[in-house]
A and B are shown apart, each in its own frame.
Chain A
């Protein structure tokens, strides 16, 4: 019983802090850059993605024995698109303001590489319980990462965090942080800081390789490293 528990914790921890996208593994960049003008939008985007990720991985995992190998990608896509449409209508109905800001990035969860990646790499081969743990880890990891990116941009760009004023009145907000340029810079700086921290941790003689640009999923659904994957 104790060993089984350890397995679940391990599955959960992978996405939650070991390989958290988009900061520790460069995956799911588009929403991470586009909607993170404030912490609350990052949080909403992350939770919506988590819902789709958890629901679709558990469903796929339950039916994993009945999904033919050749047609699995269209089947995965239909399952993901179904849950995306559900969350789209739920947000539109109950949180119209958030839905307006997230805009087309809600339907675009369908092509989020994290989701197809977890289904292909994990849920299609593992039990629903383990898939749930894995999906929760990746989903909540993505959520905290987006909230942090949104928080940094909100703090520097508007002087607030979650809408609360935190900087002194003398601080002039750097409005550039709310523009697309600020999104790229925040992301670049965070990725650089994390690499630096990892290199320190790995010691001087064993310098950690910089983060790799994530996997891109081809039409055949086999995860493959992006062309000319990043190396030091």
Chain B
């Protein structure tokens, strides 16, 4: 139990996907103009992460690994993630229309988000059990949502700041991200 809690804290804070591992930077800079959009994207990423673990863990550990087909992982993972995202989009659109209008529009962008494939590759590389993988997915997703929300909140305030013209847009966002990454380094050592 303690081990799982440490894994959760480790994946959410110490090895934050956005600020320490650099996975999924495109939406981090692209959709963090306002708080609601940032958090919605974070939740969308989290749900795809959990869903992809539910599918990819059995696929790898019950099919690819025993058959010695590990070299197919890049190809199969990306195909499964693409199919999964489309499927999730359809399900959410049908079953929860209000949820779909809130964050469904971010779903298609997630297929080529390296956070999802990165999560799957790390899960395989670290040889996590099924339960560990799920905790890892939820923790990483929580970390992504936290960082996206914080970034969006800061950028909302930055709208009123007098930013030099050459740094407006991605420039100031990257420098802000750097300061956030510096503060997240304070979590290093936590849980190890």
Kindly list the 7 A-B residue pairs having the minimum CB-CB distance in the complex, ordered from nearest: A226-B30, A188-B174, A184-B178, A218-B108, A230-B169, A196-B166, A81-B75
- Judged by a CB distance under 8 angstroms, whether A113 is at the interface is yes
Q: Are A216 and B30 in contact (CB under 8 A)?
A: yes
Contact of B169 with A232 in the complex, beta carbons under 8 Å: yes
Q: Whole-angstrom distance between the alpha carbons of A39 and B80 in the complex? A: 35
A6 in the interface (beta carbon within 8 A): no
Binary B-proximity of A196-222 (CB < 8 A = 1, otherwise 0) = 100100000001001111101111100
The bracket for how many chain B residues form the interface is 35 or more
Contact B78 A219 (CB under 8 A): no
Stretch of A70-78, A124-132, A152-160 lying at the B interface: A70-78
Specify which chain A residues have a CB less than 8 angstroms from the CB of B160 in the assembled complex: none
* A10 interfacial by beta-carbon distance below 8 Å: no
The CA-CA distance from A220 to B111 in the complex, in Å, is 10
- Cβ-based interface call for B158 (8 A): no
Of the residues A77, A89, A220, A228, contact of B37 by C-beta under 8 Å = A228
B185 and A181 within 8 A (CB): yes
Which bracket fits the contact residues of A? 35 or more
The dominant DSSP class at the B interface is helix
Q: Which residues of A contact B23 (CB under 8 A)?
A: 30, 108
Stretch at the interface among B5-13, B53-61, B115-123, B138-146: B115-123
Given contacts A108-B118, A213-B29, contact A89 B71 (CB under 8 A): yes
Q: How distant is the Cα of A85 from the Cα of B75 in the complex, in angstroms?
A: 8
A62 at the interface (CB under 8 A from B): no
Residues from chain B with Cβ under 8 Å of A195 in the complex: 165-167, 171
- In the assembled complex, the Cα of A149 lies from the Cα of B75 at a distance in Å of 30
A195 to B168, CA, bound (A): 9
Mark interface residues in B97-122 (1 if CB within 8 Å of A CB, else 0). 00000000111110111100110011
Q: Known interface pairs A78-B79, A82-B75, A111-B114. Does A232 touch B25 (Cβ–Cβ under 8 Å)?
A: no
Q: Are A185 and B74 in contact (CB under 8 A)?
A: no
**16 A-B Cβ contacts within 8 A?**
A29-B29, A31-B22, A33-B25, A107-B117, A181-B182, A184-B181, A185-B174, A192-B167, A199-B165, A211-B169, A216-B27, A218-B109, A219-B89, A219-B111, A220-B108, A226-B29
